[in-house]
Chain A
Amino acid sequence: MSSTRPQVSFEIAGVNALLVRFGDQLDPQLPAYLSALRHYLLQQHPQIIEQVVPAYTSLLVAYDPRQCRMYDLQLLIERALDEVPYSTVANKSAKLVEIPLIYGGEYGPDLDDVAQACRLSTDEIIHLHSETTYQVYAQGFAPGFSYLGQLPEALRIPRRDTPRQTVAAGSVAIAEQQTAVYPNDSPGGWHVIGYSPIQWFNPHAAQMTPVEVGDQVRFIAMDEEQLREWISTHNTESQL
């Protein structure tokens, strides 16, 4: 883990946005830093900055071009980079969220295939997947869809050759360096290894998503009975 911030570069992203790029390597400290930077920028410059979107190694800063020239915005961001220290902010504000799930069987139709591709037993896959603490590197694709990394090396396999037309909501899936839970029924090319009843996006809640970029996630393996009990005590709409 490094304690120095990656080199920053700026790119124009249209008439009202600037993309700030933080190198081209995944750094486990970066998500929490980008999240802290996002809050700082929105708080410090509410007249100028309208929206800040973090993802992996970049930060999109949308601004009102009537309030500020691009060059001046760049200076504001550079100052913010100095004021939000890299090493101390990282992981301080991050929370750890536990995600219950059930692996394999009808809940994870690709678990056996994944085991075969990785030359491991299904128990080893489950063990490796659930003992890792993940970072939320980005949110997007669909509301609440959270890209979690990094997957242990032994579990890294390419996406499916043919994407599924429909991957069911709650599907816990893996591909390349990442794992995620599908918030809605949607097409998808990842390998489905389990099911989780967590609701990833609720527009009616004060906190619309259970995690944000920079937070940490751990998967907690459960059997059907445990999961049913979890669902009944957490008052979700999910069903087994």
Chain B
Amino acid sequence: MKQPATGFRVVRKGFFSLLQDPGRFGYEHIGVTNGGPMDAMAANWANRLLDNPASATVLEVTAGGLELEARTNTMISVTGGDLNLTVNGEPQVPWRSFWVTTGDKLRFAHPRLGFRAYIGVQGGFYVPQQLGSSATVKRDHLGGLHSNGEPLQDEDFLPASMLAEEGIARQIPQRFMPDYSGDLTLHLVPGYQQQAFSKAAWQQLVQQTYTLDKRSDRMGARLSGEAIESPQLGMFSEPLSYGAVQVPADGQPIVMLNDRQTLGGYPKVGNILPLDGFSLAQRQPGTKIQFKPIGLMTAQQQMRRYLRFFGL
């Protein structure tokens, strides 16, 4: 991959800004986790707006604070949470693509709605791949600009190509824009040790309202509510798939997400629908959350529709 000399200078690194592509797959058997955009739907839109392939590297901006200076002329896209982006001081709404030129200052402030914004650039950011992916995973020391899993730092330079002429600015139709406000329902496909949980525990899980805990991170979303009884199985650690809902002895569920550890030893009630995991990534601590059972076939149908839509 020939790296262009043009791109974006990181003036201020922000809270937590990570270069991401769809993720690192096929290495879980040696303990390497997936990574990838927490809200894959928004990341896919960021690339779609620019006619990029879905594999193009985007920037995930969590909680804002990032400031970039364009050192190129190109089309960029902004999707996901509204983190009060301004370009040269002018407020910008997300879910669209637009032209930027050398010297433009892009500034994210605090989240207005949602939690993570995605920036796509025509052709993608040029980032070296490790194990087939550019995804930044801090705990694995893999991916990102310097191939060490570190988030963006002040004065980093994000290589991106330069376009000879302005492209067509696009806006995503209103009906496709997700709503990140309000309570969230996580559809749950029963599985793993679900049978080992008591009927009362299961009832309680799907009836009570949980609160998204502030200790949530890219590994997992912690939910707090009245403790449910977790079966004492004395089990060996086993592989964790995306969205697995662990219930440790304290009875508080943890939804395992992109940077989850590949093995875990707690009983699990099943997995959430990945589409709901994407919405979960846009919620701030304190959000009210409920589980709702869903059949495997229905869940797979919804995922098929999503994959087909983005040509994945």
Seen from chain A, the residues whose Cβ lies within 8 Å of a Cβ on chain B are 11-17, 19, 21, 24, 26, 38, 50-60, 62, 65-66, 70, 137-145, 147, 184, 201, 203, 208-209, 212-213
**Of A13, A184, A209, the contact of B244 (CB 8 Å cutoff):** A13
Q: Which of A16, A24, A54, A140 has the most C-beta atoms of chain B within 10 angstroms of its own C-beta? A: A140
CA distance A70 to B262 in the complex (A): 22
In the complex, which of the residues B29, B130, B190, B244 contacts A53, with contact meaning CB atoms closer than 8 Å? B29
Which B residues are CB-close (under 8 A) to A144? 30-31
Find chain B residues with CB under 8 A from A147 CB: 237
- Tell me the residues in window 116-162 of chain B with beta carbons closer than 8 Å to chain A beta carbons: 130-131, 139-142
- Chain A residues with CB below 8 A from B193, complex form: 11
B42 within 8 A of A: no
Scoring B residues 155 to 174 as 1 if CB is less than 8 Å from chain A, else 0, what string do you get?
A: 00000000000000000000
Known pairs A14-B274, A139-B30, A139-B31. 18 more at Cβ < 8 A?
A11-B193, A12-B189, A12-B190, A13-B191, A13-B271, A14-B243, A14-B270, A15-B271, A15-B299, A24-B236, A51-B26, A55-B263, A60-B239, A65-B303, A139-B29, A142-B140, A143-B30, A201-B30
Residues of A within 8 A of B238 (CB): 19, 21, 55-58, 60
Selected contact of B262 from candidates A14, A53, A59, CB within 8 Å: A53
A61–B243 alpha-carbon span in the complex (Å): 15
Residue pair B189, A14 in contact (C-beta under 8 Å): yes
Query: Which chain A residue lies CB-closest to B137?
Result: A143
| B241→A14 contact, CB < 8 A | yes
Contact A51 B273 (CB under 8 A): no
A132 to B16, CA, bound (A): 45
Nearest B residue (CB) for A21: B238
B residues near A (Cβ < 8 Å) are: 25-32, 130-131, 139-142, 189-193, 235-239, 241-244, 261-263, 270-271, 273-274, 296, 299-300, 303-304, 307
Query: How distant is B31 from chain A, measured CB to nearest CB, in Å?
Result: 4
A145 to chain B minimum Cβ distance, whole angstroms, is 5
Min CB distance, B237 to chain A, in Å?
Answer: 6
Q: Do B25 and A50 touch (CB < 8 A)?
A: yes
Q: Does A142 contact B189, Cβ atoms closer than 8 Å? A: no
Contacting pair B235 A65 (CB below 8 A):
no
CB <8 Å contact, A142 and B31 = yes
Give A14 to B187 CA distance when docked, in angstroms. 11
Nearest-CB distance from B218 to chain A (Å)? 15
Q: How far is the CA of A50 from the CA of B139 in the complex (A)?
A: 23
In the complex, the 4 A-B pairs of residues with the closest C-beta atoms, listed nearest first: A14-B271, A12-B191, A140-B263, A60-B239
A140–B244 Cα distance when bound, in Å, is 16
A165 to chain B, nearest CB (A): 15
- Pair B191/A11 contact, Cβ less than 8 Å: yes
On chain B, the residues within 8 Å of A55 by CB distance are: 236-239, 263
A62 touching B141, Cβ below 8 Å: no
Q: What are 20 residue pairs bridging A and B, where the CB atoms are less than 8 Å apart in the complex?
A: A12-B190, A13-B191, A13-B192, A14-B243, A14-B244, A15-B303, A16-B300, A51-B26, A54-B239, A55-B239, A65-B304, A138-B236, A138-B237, A139-B29, A139-B31, A140-B28, A142-B140, A208-B27, A212-B30, A213-B29
